[in-house]
Amino acid sequence: MRLLSLLCLFCLLAALLSGCGGHIISRDQEIQMGRQSADQFERENGGRGRDPALVALTQRLAARITPVAQPPDYPYDIRVLDNKVVNAVAFPGGRLYLYRGLIETFDRNPDQLAWVLSHEVSHISRRHATKIIERQLGYQAIISLLLNKGDAPQIAGAVANLMLLGYSRDEELEADRYGLIYTHAAGYDPTAAIGVLKKFQELQGREPSKFEIMFATHPGDNTRIDAVQGYLKAQGWSGAYYRPDGG
Q: Which residues make up the interface to Zn ion (CB under 5 A)?
A: 172, 175
Sheet of strand 88-90: strand arrangement: 77-81, 95-99, 88-90
Helix residue ranges, H only, 186-222: 192-206, 213-216
Cβ at position 118, least distance to Zn ion in Å: 11
Closest to Zn ion by CB, 122 or 191 = 122
How is residue 191 annotated by DSSP?
T
d(CA 164, CA 212): 8
Question: Cβ closer to Zn ion: 141 or 173?
Answer: 173
Beta strands in the chain (DSSP E): 77-81, 88-90, 95-99
CB of 179 vs Zn ion, minimal distance in Å? 9
- In the chain, how many H helices and how many E strands? 12, 3
| Smallest gap from residue 195 Cβ to Zn ion (A) | 17
User: What is the spatial distance between Cα 94 and Cα 120, in angstroms, rounded to a whole number?
Assistant: 10
141 and 155 Cβ atoms separated by less than 8 Å: yes
Judged on CB neighbours under 10 Å (0-12, 13-18, 19+), 132 is buried
Q: How far is the CB of 175 from Zn ion (least distance, A)?
A: 5
Min dist CB 236 to Zn ion, Å, is: 25
Rounded Cα distance between 139 and 12, Å, is 8
- 175 or 232: CB nearest Zn ion: 175
CA atoms of 42 and 49, how far apart (whole Å):
10
Least separation in angstroms between CB 216 and Zn ion: 10
Burial (CB count <10 Å: 0-12, 13-18, 19+), residue 226: exposed
